[in-house]
Structure 1
Amino acid sequence: MNNEEYYDFEKTPDIHYYEFSSIGPKGSIRKVIQFQQINLEENIYNLGFGDFCPETQEISDLITTNNLDTKKVLSTVARAVIDFMTLHPNAIVMAKGSTQARTRLYQMGISEFWDEIKEMFEVKGFYKDSWESFRKGKNYDAFFIFKK
C-alpha cells in the first residue's frame, strides 16, 4: 500500500467526509467516502463509498463506473480508512457493500493489501452468522476493522 498509486483526497473531518476524483476513460468521476456512526456505545462507523451524482446531489453506491482504475481507487479508500482510524483510534469501521459484488470488491482490497493491513489493524469477517478473524481466500458478508 505504501508504494501503491492513490488519488489525493480532500476531507472534512468534522463530518468524516472524504472526496476524490477517479480519472480514466470515462473522464473525472467524483467519489465520496463517508464514515457514519451507527452504534454510539460500541463506537462503530459504517464505511460508505460511492459516486457523487450531481443531478440528485447524493452519493450512489450502486453505480459501476468502470474507469479502469480499480486498484488506485481501492488504495485511496484504504488510505482514507487509515486516516480516519488515526484520527479516531477507538473507532470500529464496518465495511459491507450495497451488493455482493461490492462486498467482494472490499474483500479484494483487504486481500490485496493484507500484509500492510494486518500490521496496523485487526480485521474480522462475517461468515455464516458469526464474526471471525479475516482469512484470505474466504468470502465474507461484511468486515469489521479496528486498530490493534
Structure 2
Amino acid sequence: MAVARYDTTPVDSREYTGYSEFVDILDLRKFYSQGRNGKFELRIIVTRSKGNWDLDLFNIGFGVWDETLQIIDDSVQTKNDDMPKILGTLADYALSFLKKYPAAGLYAEGSTISRTRLYQREIAKVLSYVPPDLCIYGLVKQDEVGFIEFKRGTNFDAFLLSRR
C-alpha cells in the first residue's frame, strides 16, 4: 500500500532550543503542509530524556513550527485537508528511523485525547499493512494495564512502535 507523504529535510537541532535542558534531540526534520488555509512548516522531533544515552526509548513528536516563539506547536490545526498525508509522512519517517536504530522504541502520544483517538483511528486503518517485523503497542493507563499489542476496539492513551 502506497501512503501519500511529504518529503522531509533535516534541520540542525541547534536551531531548536525549546526544552533542550530536559531532553536530548536525536533528530529534527521539517516539511510543509500546503492546502486551502495556506502553507505551514511542520517539524518532526525525536528526543529522549536528557543524558539517558543507555536507553533506546525515544519520544517522537510533531507540530507546526512557530517561528516567533521558536517552538513546535502541537496544538495548531492547519485544516488543510491533508491529515492523512501528514500522518503518512510521520509514519514513513518513523519506519526509516527504526531501520537506522533497530533496537529503538518510538513513543507517541497526542497532545489531546481527541488527537490520540485520531492517531488510533489512522493506525487501525493501516494495521493490516504494517510490516511483519514491526510491533505497534498501545498504552492503557487505566488500572495501570500498561502497553499491550495494538488492536482495534481498545482505547489507548499512547503508542509505541518498535521492531520485533
Give the TM-score of the pair, scaled to structure 2: 0.82
Residue 92 (str. 1) matches residue 105 (str. 2): yes
Pick the aligned partner of 2:41 from 27, 30, 34: 30
Matched, 1:109 2:108: no
In structure 2, distance between residues paired with 1:56 and 1:93: 26
Q: Judge conservation of contact 1:34–1:47 (CA < 8 Å) in 2.
A: yes
1:80 aligns with: 93
In structure 2, the residue matched to 1:19 is: 30
Query: Contact 1:103/1:142 (CA < 8 Å) preserved in 2?
Result: yes
| Structure 1 residue 62 corresponds to structure 2 residue 81 | no
SS in 1 for 2:93: helix
User: Aligned partners of 1:145 and 1:75: how far apart in 2?
Assistant: 15
1:40-61 CA-to-partner distances (Å, cap 9, x unmatched) read 4431101111000111121101
Structure 2 unaligned blocks of 5 or more:
14-25
C-alpha distance 13-140 of structure 1, shift in aligned 2 (>3 A): farther
Describe the SS at the equivalent of 1:71.
Answer: helix
Q: Tell me the SS of whatever aligns to 1:113.
A: helix
Larger Rg: 2
SS at match of 2:5: coil
Distance in 1 (CA, whole Å) between partners of 2:160 and 2:90 is 15
Letter of the 2:8 partner, please give it: F
Within 5 Å, give how 1:109-148 maps onto structure 2.
109-127=122-140, 128=142, 129=144, 130-148=146-164
Segments of 5+ residues of structure 1 without an aligned counterpart are none
- TM normalised by structure 1 equals 0.90
**2:34 matched to 1:49?**
no
**Separation of aligned partners in 2, 1:47 and 1:33:** 7
Q: What count of residue pairs does the alignment treat as equivalent?
A: 147
CA RMSD of aligned residues (A): 1.8
**Displacement, 1:138?**
1.7
**Per-residue displacement from partner, 1:46-96 (whole Å, max 9, x unpaired)?**
111100011112110111111111111111110010111111111110011
2:7 is matched with 8
> Does structure 2 conserve the Cα–Cα contact (< 8 Å) formed by 1:44 and 1:91?
yes
Q: Which amino acid aligns with 1:60?
A: D
Match of 1:119, SS?
coil
Contact map agreement 1:18 1:80 (CA 8 A) in 2: no
